[in-house]
């Protein structure tokens, strides 16, 4: 079984990605580490437990991580995911918060990877604060990962949070910079524009949510807010290629779950803008080879085309 660790800011698409992993018998989800992002880290822990509860998998350990970025204040994405991160939908039977582990997310990340050297794929679908702190505490961590799968960044300077920056990178540019510079394991990026160009249709979304299962009913409740937001004027503009059902985080998860999911990719050194009047948090790709020597970032695989048939099947299975 493929060993995965998920680092999330459990909004609605993180929930979809987690449910996708839990539905695959060939995947073992070793734990979920939580970080600030779509909502507060406290809400992220609550939401993650709700998702695990909906899948009858509360035995999977959940760890609380950083409550804010390395520099500055936390931002959120309440306009899309709802203020609580899961659509502000009623939660009649909340799981006990005592289920959140005592161990911090950063320690757990380091421990779990060291216990399984070379075997764990880390799927990071949130601001990269936990991961940046982990690599500073244990610089050998990257070399012990099987792969790193990130949803974040942008290839075309199209922002969904600021003019030029995608949410996960905008929410902690320094962390993204550290992770991309110091990570020497194969790193795969599902960037904003790619996810927008790979969107699913609303017809698919309707059929997906209409499945006669408790998981589909749970998703229909928490996702209503995001569906409405997707049709707003703001998202019409943000979503690069017109609105549609964009489950950004699920692309990173699907790539970690199935080695043949990515059909085409670019391979370039990738970094993040840390200053700039309008560009802080923007991903920077060195397509020519300008960045050399000690300061050069590592190359990453940037997803361009994926197996959409497989993606639809994996999404469907997530709610079965």
Site residues (vs ligand BDR, CB under 6 A): 11, 13-14, 38, 77, 125, 151, 160, 166-168, 192, 248-249
Q: Of these residues, 9, 14, 76, 84, which one is catalytic?
A: 9
Q: Report the nearest approach of Ca ion to the CB of residue 36 (Å).
A: 11
What is the C-alpha R_g of the chain?
18
Q: Cβ closer to ligand BDR: 172 or 258?
A: 172
- Which residue is it, tokens 């035995």? 59
Can you tell me whether residue 265 is helix, strand or coil? strand
247 secondary structure, DSSP code: -
Query: Which phi and psi (to 5°) does residue 149 adopt?
Result: -120, 115
Q: Report the nearest approach of ligand BDR to the CB of residue 37 (Å).
A: 6
For the chain, what is the largest distance between any 2 Cα atoms, rounded to a whole number of angstroms? Answer: 56
Q: Which does 192 bind (CB under 5 to 8 A by kind): ligand BDR, Ca ion, none?
A: ligand BDR
Instruction: Find out whether 137 and 20 touch, Cβ atoms under 8 Å.
Output: no
Q: Cβ closer to ligand BDR: 11 or 269?
A: 11
- Residues 48-67 as x/- pattern, contact with Ca ion by CB under 5 A: --------------------
Residue 9 bears catalytic tag: yes
Answer for which of 16, 40, 48, 125 binds Ca ion (CB under 5 A) is 125
- Residues 11-30 as x/- pattern, contact with Ca ion by CB under 5 A: ---x----------------
Task: Tell me the window of 40-48, 55-63, 184-192, 243-251 that interacts with Ca ion (CB under 5 A).
Answer: 243-251
Q: Cβ closer to ligand BDR: 192 or 245?
A: 192
| Closest-CA residue to 201 (of 159, 236, 245) | 245
Q: Cβ closer to Ca ion: 189 or 268?
A: 189
Q: Which does 198 bind (CB under 5 to 8 A by kind): Ca ion, ligand BDR, none?
A: none
Span 195-234, contacts to Ca ion by CB under 5 A: none
Beta-carbon contacts of 138 under 8 Å, excluding residues fewer than 6 positions away, are 110, 114
Q: Which does 69 bind (CB under 5 to 8 A by kind): ligand BDR, Ca ion, none?
A: none
**Which two tokens mark 162?**
């600021």
Instruction: Find out whether 169 and 281 touch, Cβ atoms under 8 Å.
Output: yes
Q: Which does 166 bind (CB under 5 to 8 A by kind): ligand BDR, Ca ion, none?
A: ligand BDR
Q: Are strands 283-285 and 262-272 parallel, antiparallel or unpaired?
A: antiparallel
| Closest-CA residue to 127 (of 162, 86, 84, 173) | 173
Strand spans (E) along the chain: 2-8, 27-34, 62-64, 120-124, 145-151, 187-190, 262-272, 283-285, 299-306
Q: Cβ closer to ligand BDR: 77 or 303?
A: 77
Which residues bind to Ca ion, rule: CB under 5 A? 9, 14, 125-126, 249
Q: Which positions are annotated as active-site residues? A: 9
């Amino acid at each position: 079984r493929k060993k995965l660790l998920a680092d999330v800011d459990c909004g609605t698409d993180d929930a979809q990605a987690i449910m996708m992993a839990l539905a695959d018998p060939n995947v073992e989800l070793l734990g979920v580490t939580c970080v600030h992002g779509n909502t507060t880290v406290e809400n992220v822990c609550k939401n993650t437990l709700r998702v695990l509860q909906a899948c009858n998998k509360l035995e999977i350990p959940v760890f609380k991580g950083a409550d804010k970025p390395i520099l500055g204040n936390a931002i959120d994405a309440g306009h899309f995911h709802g203020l609580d991160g899961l659509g502000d939908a009623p939660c009649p039977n909340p799981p006990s918060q005592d289920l959140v582990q005592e161990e911090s997310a950063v320690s757990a990340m380091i421990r779990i990877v060291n216990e399984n050297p070379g075997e764990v794929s880390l799927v990071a679908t949130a601001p990269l604060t936990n991961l940046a702190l982990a690599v500073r505490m244990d610089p050998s961590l990257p070399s012990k990962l099987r792969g790193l799968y990130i949803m974040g960044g942008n290839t075309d300077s199209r922002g969904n949070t600021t003019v030029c920056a995608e949410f996960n990178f905008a929410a902690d540019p320094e962390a993204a910079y550290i992770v991309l510079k110091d990570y020497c394991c194969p790193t795969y990026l599902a960037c904003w524009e790619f996810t927008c160009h790979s969107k699913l249709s609303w017809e698919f979304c309707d059929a997906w949510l209409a499945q006669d299962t408790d998981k589909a009913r749970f998703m229909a409740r928490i996702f209503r807010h995001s569906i409405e937001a997707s049709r707003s004027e703001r998202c019409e503009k943000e979503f690069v290629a017109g609105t549609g059902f964009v489950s950004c985080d699920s692309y990173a998860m699907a790539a970690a779950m199935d080695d043949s999911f990515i059909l085409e990719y670019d391979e370039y050194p990738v970094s993040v803008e840390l200053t700039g009047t309008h560009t802080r948090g923007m991903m920077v790709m060195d397509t020519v080879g300008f960045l050399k020597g000690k300061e050069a970032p590592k190359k990453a695989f940037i997803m361009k085309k994926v197996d959409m048939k497989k993606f639809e099947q994996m999404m469907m299975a997530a709610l079965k």
